[in-house]
Structure 1
Amino acid sequence: MKDMHGPRHRIILPALCWTARRRDFYAITTDISAEGVRFRSSSLLIPGEDLTCSIRHIGLLHARIDRAVGQEFVVSVRGDGPALASLARHFMALSRAQDLSVEPIRVDRRIVPKQKVVTVTLEDGHAVSGHVLNISASGVALLIDRTLELGATIQVGRKLARVVRHFTHGLGAAFVESFEPGDVHDAMTL
């Protein structure tokens, strides 16, 4: 997600925080950006206050509250250049490790067909073998020995599809034209 402060990187970490006027309240990080670290808390805070937080996997963070709206507040971290750069790299590594990308909501029932081996024809015309993990009216999850670009068009059996996600040794593809829900059963063939 982007805003006027550049990209935001989601990261969810619990924190125990305190200010000079408020002792020991809980907060949780929500994201980091060039703007600072964004938190959520049930405590209502005042911009301009100095804040200390003990954040899981980060340690002690000394900051100033720059903005507070409702339950959200944004802080700028205090410290010198090298320490801030190291802290930013650590936050980014934790953000990547959490991989909080939103998984699309599945609305179609998935089944595991009896016929699991299928021919997958790539955009360049080459055919490779794929193993169907599951299938629904709108898409298929395949194990395949190729890494394909997101958005690539492939043919799974006789059905045209687009690659929409990757996972270890496989991919998820959405059919260009969905099956009728009644046509999805364990004896179906692609």
Structure 2
Amino acid sequence: MSHAASPAISRAGLLAARVADRRRHHRVAIALLGRYMLADRREYPCQTVDISPGGVRLVCAVPGEIGERVVIYLEHLGRLEGTISRILPDGFAVALSATPHKREKIASQLTWLANRASLGLPEDRRHERVVPRQSAVTLRLDDGSEVPARLIDVSLSGAALACDLPLPVDSPLLIGRTACRVVRQFKGGLAVEFRLPLSPDRFDENLVL
């Protein structure tokens, strides 16, 4: 008798665990910019629709396949890994793989982001943008030439540089070892977007690109 009942008990227990997991991982509707890498190492830009420590929904152009491993880099949160769980009309959903400690860090950061948005607080510039101690850099262009420049400030997703050479928008280049592209020109300089957002773990005035 007990053997016959055990599968039903197991299924009921599994369902209860999933419901508890969904409740524990409260989703936050917030738009964070980032990039993702599919299993074949192709990379594309994305934006979050909502996110919890257990999963994230992305708006993106290339959806991948259900069950495919994906690596995501998001502003404020850094590197996340998981498996595509659902394909959506404008993107896909990912079940995140993370240690309990990593999930706690994600939950804390999401709480901060949600509170900042609900209270209408300004961006925290200490976390959003830094002025590196080592500001002199060399830009390596696609044709192999090098151009001296100076970092004005850096965010997780890009940088502003003082540079005498006006580079066309969308020009690919390297700042040190960091791949990026020109997204805007201004008088005496330019703004670039990093190919992959920087990790928050190394984001301070001692940052070297």
TM-score tier, shorter chain, comes to: 0.3 to 0.5
Task: Report the structure, 1 or 2, having the larger strand content.
Answer: 1
Which is helix-richer, 1 or 2?
2
* Structure of larger gyration radius: 1
